[in-house]
Amino acid sequence: MKYISTRGQSKPLSFSEILLGGLAPDGGLYLPETYPKFSQQDLNSMQSMTYPELAFHIISNFIDDIPKNDLKAIINKTYTKEVYAFSRSQQKAEDITPILKVKDNFYILSLSNGPTLAFKDIAMQLLGNLFEYVLTKEKAEINILGATSGDTGSAAEYAMRGKKGINVFMLSPYQKMSRFQSAQMFSIQDPNIFNISIKGVFDDCQDIVKAVSNDLDFKRDFKIGAVNSINWGRILAQIVYYFKGYLAVAKNNEEVSFTVPTGNFGNICAGHIARMMGLPIKRLVVATNENNVLDEFFKTGMYKPRDSKNTFHTSSPSMDISKASNFERFIFDLIGRDSKKLNELWKSIDQGGNFDLNQEGIFEKIQAFGFTSSSSTHEERIRYIKETYDLYKIIIDTHTADGFKAAYEHTDDNVPMIVLETALPTKFEDSIVEAIGQKPERPESLQHLEGLPQKFEVLDNQVDQVKTFIRQQV
Ligand SMILES: *Cc1c(COP(=O)(O)O)cnc(C)c1O
């Protein structure tokens, strides 16, 4: 299995060769040259598999340069009930992504039972183990540099803590994360995790990361790498739970639909690939919040990213994204993997422009790919959190509430709908209190999180200070 770039100008590479990198040299994103296909019979045989068995069965089709037994061991140590311990009381932790029935034909797929209480753990934990394996084999090291406004950074740190050959330097805006989020990151005491609090906003952090990565000498000398949302390994890990969710609810090989709270389009891209692999998915519903660039695209064919000044800060903050970094992967498939065409479209995007697939006569194809969309407002999220609690005694977080709004709009009779739960409500306490007048339950082991000792460095908003800090530590 080789991986090709969406822009068509990079040489095909194997899994381990693309694992640690970001963009392809031609600026594109990597995708497998073909998608493995699963028949209905295959699906039936997967019914009785545990999560790690299922993960191995699917993931091994995409990796041919790690011996099968090694891959199996990596997967087995990643997906354990000890790591995904925060399931609801009526669920089984060993299911890793257990299903929760809300009502007839309407389910939640719980993806947020890992250490940072958000779905990113599912992929990041696997990535941590894969990185360590590949680096050990190559006797290499990596210094991961990233910027976070909360979720991604903590998922990366919890996945990489204590791993051989890996240091993490994570920039976050000084005093601008929630108390819970800061405590989650800063309480990590492992010597290979460095939290850097920058006196600035999130965009400043991101600019510093870009500036450091663009200094090619520094990047080479200090082996700077990333774990951003375009990493193929993350998408790959996420394909698995679409199968898991399907197998948990589908009777007699029927179709099911999925609704996905969407930001960078990584999660739903995995759903798209699962569908291309033969999983009977009727609809893939893209749920957005007030930052509804993708909803606009799926309704009109016009893709018009916005800059950070036109991106709102909302109560589902992990979806406050107006330029979805994985969208290019889907469009590549939509236009029949025509990289010449893709280059034309993204030439415009990379220059701050837009494109209109309606004009291009390609937009009708969206239907055949199962996609549809919705957006929601803060008031709607609050209403769905309250209603879901009043009717079913289930507390959902604000991102999952975006999902509920979208799912109700796009449910077909007799087709089970599965909403992906992308975070646990305790991460967004304020909104939950606003909706139902009480705090959601917090897992016992996190009760005293904010009181734990914290380790972080405060630096000015200056590239050189960050470089000096990295130099001193490695
Ligand atoms: C990251 C995140 C999302 C968005 O996922 P994408 O893969 O970027 O589309 C949604 N909800 C939560 C809670 C997240 O952390």
Tens-place pLDDT, residues 160-216? 999 999 999 999 999 888 888 899 999 999 999 999 999 998 889 988 998 998 899
Ligand 1 centroid distance, CA of 319 (Å): 6
Helix axes 327-334, 339-350, angle to 10 degrees: 140
Confirm or reject: Cβ of 261 under 6 Å from ligand 1: yes
Q: Please, are residues 89 and 74 in contact by the beta-carbon 8 Å criterion?
A: no
Three-class secondary structure of residue 211 per DSSP: helix
Q: Is the pLDDT of residue 150 over 80?
A: no
pTM value?
Answer: 0.96
Q: Is the pLDDT of residue 57 over 80?
A: yes
**Pick from 118, 116, 138, 238: which is nearest to 185 by CA?**
116
Q: Is the pLDDT of residue 252 over 90?
A: no
pLDDT at 156: 96
The CATH architecture that domain 93-117+232-436 belongs to is 3-Layer(aba) Sandwich (3.40)
Q: Which of 2, 11, 81, 120 is catalytic?
A: 120
pLDDT at 229: 85
Tokens of residue 259, six digits? 């609704």
Burial of 252 (0-12, 13-18, 19+ CB in 10 A): exposed
Q: Please, are residues 260 and 417 in contact by the beta-carbon 8 Å criterion?
A: no
Main-chain dihedrals φ then ψ at residue 170, nearest 5 degrees: -115, 120
Distance (Å, rounded) from C-alpha 407 to C-alpha 339?
Answer: 33
Q: For residue 397, name the pLDDT band (cuts at 50, 70, 90).
A: very high
Burial 329-350 (b: 16+ CB within 10 A, else e): bbbbbbbeeebebbbebbeebe
Ligand 1 centroid distance, CA of 264 (Å): 7
Tokens of residue 341, six digits? 């065409």
Confirm or reject: Cβ of 188 under 6 Å from ligand 1: no
pLDDT tens per residue, range 72-83:
999 999 999 999
Length of the chain: 474
pLDDT tens per residue, range 80-116:
999 999 999 889 999 999 999 999 999 999 999 999 9
Ligand 1 centroid distance, CA of 302 (Å): 22
Is 120 an active-site residue? yes
pLDDT at 129: 97
CA distances (Å), origin 78, targets 75, 173, 270, 351:
5, 30, 19, 40
Sorted by where each begins, the domain ranges of the chain are 93-117+232-436
pLDDT tens per residue, range 308-339:
889 898 999 999 988 999 999 999 999 999 99
pLDDT at 360: 76
Residues above pLDDT 90, as percent of the chain: 86
